[in-house]
Structure 1
Amino acid sequence: MAKNRQTGKSRQRKESAIRFFFFSVALTSIITLALIVVFLFMEGLPIFSKVSVYDFLFGRYWYPTDDPPDFGIFPLIVASLAVTVMSAVISIPLGVMTALYLAESASARLREWVKPIVELLAALPSVVIGFFGMVVVAPFLQEIFDIPTGLNLFNASLMLAFMSVPTICSISEDAIYSVPIELKEASLALGATHWETIARVILPASLSGISTAIILGMSRAIGETMVVLMIAGGAAQLPSSIFDPVRPMPASIAAEMAEAPFRSDHYYALFATGIVLFAFTLLFNLVSEYISNKYRQVGAATL
């Protein structure tokens, strides 16, 4: 009996130690993130002593090195949203349709080959994708559409869509594949065709996971730096067409931070731009969490 008690106490100590270890790791991650956010706000907020929040967010001119400088990031915000929306228009159908094919139509052997390849695409370095867009896609677009430059909004959107498809496809495929087989069998037993079952049963039942996949793909697109820095064109202007050069927020931060004097207005403005970018990314994540929880709570009622 005494030996059993000692064994039980030893297990409790081990479980407590393991629990404390994982708690410490989680707490360290939270503290690190909090410190990054605090630093971001400390370095970004001073710019608003020189320019109002409204002029900063909705100013149409970004000339931080002029005399006097202009710190309007509205063209940068529009560029970020434009490349994100356009890449989503391309990547969402491709990602979801590929996921549907892998989960519902592809043979098990083909699925074993295709899914790792799709997931491997997510591991491609962004600089490689940007280089491909610069060397291959840009001259092609310039020749086909007879435009002054192939480094533009459309090219950046194509490459961001290429980067987002693996994320959307992989998570959506897992969500579709996890739908209980009983739902599918019940639909087929009632006389529905395979595609009717997909449209009216499987997709609604997996909508939570698919929505999360889409939002995560868009979050990656709006926060991507290297690709848009290399192939978006680098022009801080409001685009009038999809073939205009643009400069999204991440590209502006990456391109100008090295040349901005430390603790100058330009330096503070770039950190304030980072705050805006952080707000957009946080908004996407909150929307993803809301949609995921909403449809998870509804459950079978979505059918």
Structure 2
Amino acid sequence: MRRLLTLLIPVAIVAIGIGLWLTAPSRVDAARFDGLTGAADRGEAVFTAAGCASCHHAPDAEGEAKLVLAGGQPFPSDFGTFYAPNISSHPEAGIGDWDLEDLANAVTRGVSPESQHYYPAFPYGAYAKITDQDLADLWAYMQTLPADATPSRAHDVGFPFNIRRSLGGWKLLFFSDDYVIEDIPAELERGRYLVEALAHCAECHTPRNALGGLDTARWMGGAPNPSGRGTIPPLTPDELTWSAADIAYYLETGFTPDFDAVGGHMAEVVENFAALTKEDRDAVAAYVKALPPLSE
């Protein structure tokens, strides 16, 4: 037994070391932002398309109050309830003491300034594809928004999901900055960027596996509503038979071809897209119509 323990202890130490190395947070190379200057006016469009306020405004905020990113909205899941944090410009309660590198690590790597993994309820798997210039512009805009001292609420997540380091293993399995739909004509690239990256549409419209990773084999194929109420509809052309013009109109007005009106959290998505350009809405519609059907 002593000899067996003598052999097992070094093996266990090596295994733990390898595990810690594999699950360590991966950070961006700060040098990639050298020479970049952000513009707040361009950043506003990035902020809007990415839906930052939709998740991070206070639960009862309306109108201009949605730009006060105090956090607090609940997001239920099979793993517990996550609460959007304060990302206002407040230096203690929010992210006012961050810099562009901190934002890039959070948004594109899911890593905090303290080198802790963020939960993928924050859609960094989609945001990983945001361009460096858009990140710089986004940061410039966010610094113009008001500060708020509301403390962030702790997530209601139990063991073992509250072990942050384990998220490094989740990232090894499911995190990628590659596009799901790779080979597309140039005229669809803007729509793909809006849908797959900024607007992170797949986070709701694609089903997940038992570990919470997106089931890319059923990309945009619809999914159960995490709140437990109903389902999120599919967007593939074999299921969504709307024309591109119908889709673009819905993103602008919230009205369907059947004269129904948008509801739930999708109302905030439409509010965001309505503030973008017609060209962007048309680009999203063109990309959605070009999705492969689930039957393929």
Normalised to the residue count of structure 2, the TM-score between the two structures is 0.20
The structure with the largest alpha-carbon Rg is 1
TM-score of the superposed pair, with normalisation by structure 1: 0.19
Structure whose residues are more often helix by fraction: 1
